[in-house]
């Protein structure tokens, strides 16, 4: 459960570096780094199981989703513009959720607030791939499907934890390791979130007349390379 967080850490760091190289907007640098922060916080929590480290896991999930919302809803704006009302709303949302959660200490509250942001992201993504850039459906639906698969396995692990633990004790060590559904939740949600940033960045660069292309490192891992607009 600790090591599986590497998928939240290493690919977004590469994405952040590539974003800087391509000279893209800082909001996407923030999106990649926020995803890395989630992975680092989750790593610390699962390594220590301390409440303070749990907050480093859970609160960055809220903050990163707020960045994702801003990026996705600002895809079709002119370059170098700032939507101050939306920015203020998301910062206020993050602040209020943090204060309430720190005092309430109720996981369900965090899940509802996080789920609300995810729902907003999903609705906007579906709108983009259905009515704006239909050729991005593959990327959009893959991101959503991978994320929901992770969410499903996370709930299975929560509900049947005792039975799964007893079953693993009868399995060979290697087989038992790959049935850690919470680790698969990390892997699948990390990949789904990363693919979402690619979708958002692809949409944004298309609008700005850039030439984005999805490449696969070692034929496996997707990265986005963005070439500047052609000069007339």
Token pair recorded at residue 105: 């200490």
List the one residue out of 5, 62, 59, 67 whose CA is nearest residue 36. 5
pLDDT tens, 8-20? 999 999 999 999 9
Model confidence, pTM? 0.94
Burial of residue 134 (number of CB atoms within 10 Å: 0-12, 13-18, 19+): exposed
What pLDDT score does 177 carry?
76
Domain covering 3-226 in this structure, CATH number = 1.20.1070
Binding site feature residues for Zn(2+): 46, 182, 186
Phi, psi dihedral angles at 216 (to 5 degrees)? -120, 115
Task: Choose among 99, 14, 105: nearest CA to 54.
Answer: 105
pLDDT digits (tens, 9 = 90+) for 52-81: 999 999 999 999 999 999 999 999 998 888
107-127 vs 137-159: helix crossing angle, rounded to 10? 160
What integer is the mean pLDDT of 175-190?
Answer: 89
Q: Where are the alpha helices (DSSP H) in the chain?
A: 6-21, 26-48, 51-73, 84-104, 107-127, 137-159, 161-168, 173-177, 181-207
- Is the predicted pLDDT of residue 205 greater than 90, yes or no? yes
Q: How confident is the model at residue 232 (pLDDT cuts 50, 70, 90)?
A: low
**Residue pLDDT, tens place only, 95-110:** 999 999 999 999 899 9
Higher pLDDT, 231 or 132: 132
Query: Which residue ranges make up the annotated binding site?
Result: 46, 182, 186
What average pLDDT score do residues 154-164 get?
85
């Amino acid at each position: 459960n600790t090591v599986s967080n590497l998928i939240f850490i290493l690919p977004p760091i590469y994405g952040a570096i590539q974003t800087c190289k391509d000279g893209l907007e800082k909001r996407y640098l923030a999106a990649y780094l926020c995803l890395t922060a989630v992975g680092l916080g989750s790593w610390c929590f699962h390594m220590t199981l301390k409440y303070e480290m749990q907050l480093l896991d859970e609160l960055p999930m809220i903050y990163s989703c707020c960045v994702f919302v801003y990026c996705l809803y600002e895809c079709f704006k002119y370059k170098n513009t700032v939507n101050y009302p939306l920015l203020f709303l998301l910062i206020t949302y993050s602040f209020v959720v943090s204060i309430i959660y720190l005092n309430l200490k109720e996981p369900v509250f965090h899940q509802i607030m996080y789920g609300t942001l995810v729902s907003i992201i999903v609705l906007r993504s579906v709108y983009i791939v259905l009515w704006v850039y239909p050729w991005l459906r593959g990327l959009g639906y893959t991101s959503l499907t991978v994320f929901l698969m992770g969410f499903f396995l996370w709930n299975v692990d929560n509900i049947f934890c005792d039975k799964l633990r007893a079953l693993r004790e009868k399995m060979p060590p290697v087989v038992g390791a790959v049935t850690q559904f919470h680790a698969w939740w990390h892997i699948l949600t990390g990949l789904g979130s990363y693919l979402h940033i690619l979708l958002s960045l692809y949409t944004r660069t298309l609008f700005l007349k850039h030439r984005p292309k999805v490449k696969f490192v070692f034929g496996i891992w997707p990265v986005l390379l963005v070439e500047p607009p052609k000069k007339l």
